[in-house]
Amino acid sequence: MTATLYVTQGSGNSIKPLMAARRSGAQCAVRYMDVLAGATREPEYLAINPQGVVPYLQFDDGSGLGESNAIAWYLAEGSDLIPGSALGRAQAIRWMNFEQTALEANISPVRFFTHIAPQLASDDQLAMVPVWREQGNKGLTILDAYLAHNDFVTCDGYSVADIAVYGYTHLAGEGGFDLNEYTAISAWIERVAGQADYQPIDVLLDGLDRDTLEKAA
């Protein structure tokens, strides 16, 4: 089955499926959505993904798969990104849930409303900035303590769970978090970036932009 992956610029969630596909060799067309211009609120996109967010993987029969971590897992199937042991797979679920609830949920909005699009921040959202930073730092502290004793997120080495946790953690500095305070996370970020198939976010997203838009047109 062929599939189309919808992503957007600068998104720590959007790079997860792209990182997984690069490693596994999974093939899919990529469509870039201009979230800031409201592309994910257009009826055409809501007909594809009623949740109105990216990333989203649409199959050629019209069905689809949402949630960055689920899409990354799907595209990683059959590769060394899937932990080999039962414990490794369970640890992957544990940390992918943690990423969505303790890390992404705080780092993503504070980065968006202070760095990506401060002009869009309402007073209520600005009032949340210190809360997001406090909660995000709690999550980073827990991750840092874990990575002080573990090279990667699961006991089976570099995996799709590292990709999931990496998505927004490595962008935390743009949300006002001081990653220098987290020495184990900083060392792990280097290990992820040291993978042979690694490409940084600007290359993964911006580098493919023109090609894939032309292909999809």
Element containing residue 29 per DSSP (H, E)? strand 29-32
Selection from 84, 86, 107 nearest residue 164 by Cα: 107
Tokens 């979230």 found at: 35
In the chain, DSSP finds a helix count (H) and a strand count (E) of 10, 4
Interface with ligand GSH, residue 17, by CB under 6 A: no
Which token pair is 72?
Answer: 């990354």
Residue nearer to ligand GSH on the CB measure, 37 or 145: 37
The H-assigned helical ranges of the chain are 15-24, 43-48, 68-76, 86-98, 104-111, 123-147, 160-169, 183-193, 201, 207-216
Closest to ligand GSH by CB, 68 vs 91, is 68
Query: Closest distance between ligand GSH and the C-beta of residue 57, in Å?
Result: 10
Contact code string over 64-83 relative to ligand GSH, x by CB under 6 A: ---xx---------------
Q: Which of 5, 8, 113, 156 binds ligand GSH (CB under 6 A)?
A: 8
Binding to ligand GSH (CB under 6 A) within 34-53 occurs at 35, 40, 52-53
Residue given tokens 């970036």 in the structure block: 193
Kindly provide the b/e burial profile for residues 27-64, where b requires at least 16 CB atoms within 10 angstroms of the residue's own CB.
ebebbbbebeeebbeeeebeebbeebbbbbbbeeeeeb
Per CB under 6 A, the list member of 54, 65, 140, 172 interacting with ligand GSH is 54
Instruction: Sketch the per residue contact string, 91 through 120, with ligand GSH: x for CB under 6 A, - otherwise.
Output: ---------x--------------------
Q: Which is nearer to ligand GSH, 99 or 144 (CB)?
A: 99
Phi, then psi, of 199 in degrees rounded to 5? -135, 140
In terms of CB distance, is 34 or 151 closer to ligand GSH? 34
Interaction between residue 157 and ligand GSH (CB under 6 A): no
Residues facing residue 58 across a β-bridge: 4, 64
58 makes contact with ligand GSH (CB under 6 A): no
CB atoms inside a 10 Å sphere around CB 193: 12
Binding to ligand GSH, residues 118-137 (CB under 6 A): none
Should residue 169 be labelled a site residue for ligand GSH when binding is judged by CB under 6 A?
no
Q: Tokens for 84?
A: 């080999």
How far is 23 from 25, CA to CA, in rounded Å? 6
Question: Using CB under 6 A as the criterion, what x/- string covers residues 178-207 for binding ligand GSH?
Answer: ------------------------------
Q: Which residues bind ligand GSH (CB under 6 A)?
A: 8, 11, 13, 35, 40, 52-55, 67-68, 100
